[in-house]
Amino acid sequence: MERGFAAPGSRHAILRFRWNAVRASIWLDTLPKVARLCYPNATLIDHVRDNYVEVIGPHGPCEIWLGGLDEKERVDKILGQEYATILFNEVSQIAYGSVLTARTRLAEKIPVIGSNQYAFLPIRGYYDLNPTGKRHWSNLQFIEHVDPVTRRPLPNADNFKYMFIPPESNAQNLPAETLEELEQLPPRQRKRFWLV
């Protein structure tokens, strides 16, 4: 939303493996919650038939497209447009080939509000996931800085940054019982979900 407000008319995509998952988790839960808490003056308009949410911000509208990468029709719809931002949500479920294909759509060149004609919103890809194994493509690319296919060092490794967010650093947004439950998990699950 912040990036969309900076560049009215811009398009952004949030992609998951399955369309119904992105619709349920993002549009029906996270997006309205973030708007209510962080941007109470923003208006969200659901264009469910076209798979996007129009966000009316302080300087005009932007679009947040929601997509699943599990069916060819949905992938083709995503590939039909350019975006300034793509958030790959729960990448532990998304095949690397699908991510590579979708990343080709990070190509929208749109001016930033209040800037001269030569200042454009930088394109960005964001990725989130719960911790996964060391052989997953996200670990290879973002932590080991090697190409997941060739296993060669990334020539642009500085473009692939990561951060871990352990549950206790998000304590203000989680019930105390959840934190207690995570801390008391068996060793394997505790390592994955608590120790990050």
Structure tokens at 17: 């493996």
Question: Side by side, which strands form the sheet with 85-88?
Answer: 43-47, 52-57, 60-68, 11-16, 85-88, 124-127
* Higher pLDDT, residue 39 or 48: 39
Mean pLDDT of the chain: 92
Lowest-pLDDT range, 116-120, 127-131, 136-140? 116-120
In the beta sheet, which residues pair with residue 62? 55
What pLDDT does residue 41 have?
95
What pLDDT does residue 139 have?
95
Determine contact, residues 91/148, Cβ cutoff 8 Å. Answer: no
Residue boundaries of the structural domains of the chain: 2-130
Show Cβ contacts of residue 153 under 8 Å, excluding neighbours closer than 6 positions.
145, 146, 147
Q: Which CATH number fits domain 2-130: 3.40.50.300, 2.30.140.10, 3.30.2130.10, 3.40.50.2300?
A: 3.40.50.300
What pLDDT does residue 116 have?
67
Question: What are the backbone angles phi and psi of residue 17, rounded to the nearest 5°?
Answer: -65, -45
What pLDDT does residue 135 have?
93
CB atoms within 10 A of CB 86: 24
pLDDT of 106 > 80? The answer is yes
pLDDT of 40 > 90? The answer is yes
pLDDT per residue over 59-92, tens digit each?
999 999 999 998 777 777 778 899 999 999 999 9
- Percent of the chain at pLDDT > 70 equals 98
pLDDT of 175 > 70? The answer is yes
Helix (H) or strand (E) holding 76: helix 72-79
What pLDDT does residue 115 have?
67
pLDDT of 180 > 90? The answer is yes
Q: Average of pLDDT values for 117-130? A: 91
Q: Average of pLDDT values for 86-102? A: 93
